[in-house]
Amino acid sequence: MDARALKEGVVPGRLDADALNAGFVDLHAPLTDHEALVAADRCYFCHDAPCITACPTDIDIPLFIRQIATGTPEAAAKTILTQNIMGGMCARVCPTETLCEEACVREAAEGEPVQIGRLQRYATDTLMAQGVHPFSRAASTGKRIAVVGAGPAGLACAHRLAMHGHDVVVFDARSKAGGLNEYGIAAYKSTEDFAAREVDWLLQIGGIQIRNNMALGRDVTLSALQGEYDAVFLGMGLGGVNALTAPGAEKEGVLDAVGFIADLRQATDLSALPVGRDVVVIGGGMTAVDAAVQSKLLGALNVTIVYRRGRDRMNASVWEQDLAAAKGVRIITNASPVAVHGNGAVREIEFEFTDDELAPTGQTFRLAADQVFKAIGQTLSGEDLPNLDGRKIAVSGPGRTSVQGVWAGGDCAAGGEDLTVTAVAEGRDAAEDIHAALMRA
């Protein structure tokens, strides 16, 4: 941190160690054995369970909850992990309030759903704590598959392929595997290095090699992978960040929210992370909320999220919006940035109110800001990729691209929601299709 940044008020150590530790504890405490039994007892075990339909990975939710209720959480974990090998992380970060729990019959009847997410965490944590990997590899097929990206889609694909007896090499641009689970999730949602521990546990299946610091286009090409491997799966996510086009966006203190969250997730000392006194976050998704809440937890005095559309159009769920408000974050909607002001470093950011169609109204306002985080979406980066659908890789069926022998899934592929659980489902389904194609060959 240079002297000018210090002068402008972006400094580390705004809070003492006790306050930082209190702020970054586990957002949802794990259930005890007794609490899990009580929570499981609320399930109606519906035969035509709407919660299953609402789950992108099609987990048999009533079955795993019944297994918890009968005192066999390890069996419950296998039910979960058969469909979602990253069920532990999904239990922590999935927006269950808008997926399985919103569809829960008890939510419709009483406004209080079964705690499906916390029960899923209870089951998977129980199994992982035993150091047990419940799956084994089939006999070797002699086939080799390259997976690009060690995030949720790539890891789910690699694990399922390994189960079928294939050998998998995963190429990842970063120094640690995990993708957004490691670098892009708020620290209070994934504590105690869970993302890395889940990767280590997943790799116990065997047959998976991870090569870090290997980026597609920089260190390896798609054509080279096609020549060396029997199939390729692209699950590298979105490496670029959308630019803020307002004049002054290049000023010091205007940063990418994704990078801020990654720095925080990898920090060993939270008191060393600089944060502004007046923080403005531009965007309306989960990343915006994560950046805003964590700024507040690091000691920022005023934190404001500004989104160009109405609250009902925010990608962040109502629950996430309420979490931000509960932490003292202000949310302003229907406003777009028009200029960043300051002499070298940002001091204010100017917005203009918009109507529901994003048309400018002519009414402007300014917010004091010594730190601005852009959370306005990410873009696909790379060259010589399969055909695109808009700004993502076009896919059909279970991840087939325009290039023979190449599949894609997760955030880099068109069509799905940008959720961890969706990425896992797409990686899993692509693996099944790859396996079928290789066995027909």
pLDDT of residue 241: 86
Phi, then psi, of 271 in degrees rounded to 5 = -70, -10
Name which of 47, 32, 125 is nearest 61 in CA terms: 47
Q: In 130-172, where does DSSP find H-type helix?
A: 152-163
Give CA–CA dist 158/138, Å, rounded.
Answer: 14
Question: Residue 167's Cα: distance from chain center in Å?
Answer: 27
Determine the longest span between alpha carbons in the chain, in angstroms: 67
Report the chain's C-alpha Rg in angstroms.
22
Tokens of 342: 């300051």
DSSP structure class, residue 312: G
Q: How far apart are CA 56 and CA 68, in angstroms?
A: 21
pLDDT at 6: 43
For residue 209, the surrounding DSSP H or E stretch is: strand 208-211
HSE-CB at 358 with a 13 A cutoff on CA atoms is 7
Residue 422 has a pLDDT of: 97
Beta strands in 149-203 (DSSP E): 167-171
What is the per-residue pLDDT for 8?
Answer: 55
428 close to 156: Cβ distance less than 8 angstroms: yes
DSSP bridge pairs for 254? 372
The kind and range of the H/E element at 53 are helix 50-54
Task: Give, for all 441 residues of the chain, the pLDDT tens digit.
Answer: 344 444 458 999 999 999 999 999 999 889 999 999 999 999 999 989 999 999 999 999 999 999 999 999 999 999 999 999 999 999 999 999 999 999 999 999 999 999 999 999 999 999 999 998 999 999 999 999 999 999 999 999 999 999 999 999 999 999 999 999 999 999 999 999 999 999 999 999 999 999 999 999 999 999 999 999 999 999 999 988 899 999 999 999 999 999 999 999 999 999 999 999 999 999 999 999 999 999 999 999 999 999 999 999 999 999 999 999 999 999 999 999 999 999 999 999 999 999 988 999 999 999 999 999 999 999 998 778 999 999 999 999 999 999 999 999 999 999 878 899 999 999 999 999 999 999 997
DSSP letter (8 states) at residue 396: B
CB-CB contact of 170 with 205 (8 Å): no
Euclidean distance between the first and the last CA atom of the chain, given in angstroms as a whole number: 57
Q: How far apart are CA 212 and CA 148, in angstroms?
A: 10
- The pLDDT of residue 4 is 42
| Best CA proximity match to 126, nearest among 40, 57, 53, 56 | 40
**Tokens standing for 117?**
């997410």
Q: What is the dihedral of CA 386, 419, 125, 135, to 10 degrees?
A: -30
What the chain holds in terms of domains, given with CATH numbers, is 33-129 (1.10.1060.10), 144-239+380-440 (3.50.50.60), 241-377 (3.50.50.60)
- Amino acid identity for residue 402 in this structure: S
Report residue 382 CA to chain centroid gap.
Answer: 21
The amino acid occupying position 264 is L
d(CA 407, CA 395): 8
Sheet holding 330-332, edge to edge: 254-256, 371-374, 278-282, 302-306, 330-332
How far is residue 217's CA from residue 232's CA, in Å, rounded to a whole number? 14
**What count of residues does the chain have?**
441
Whole-prediction pTM? 0.94
| Structure tokens belonging to residue 62 | 């009533």
Helix H segments across 57-115? 61-69, 73-83, 87-93, 100-103, 105-110
Residues 6+ apart with CB under 8 A from 163: 135, 136, 137, 138, 205
Q: 166-190: string of b/e by CB count within 10 Å (b at 16+)?
A: bbbbbbbbbebbbbbbbbbbbbbbb
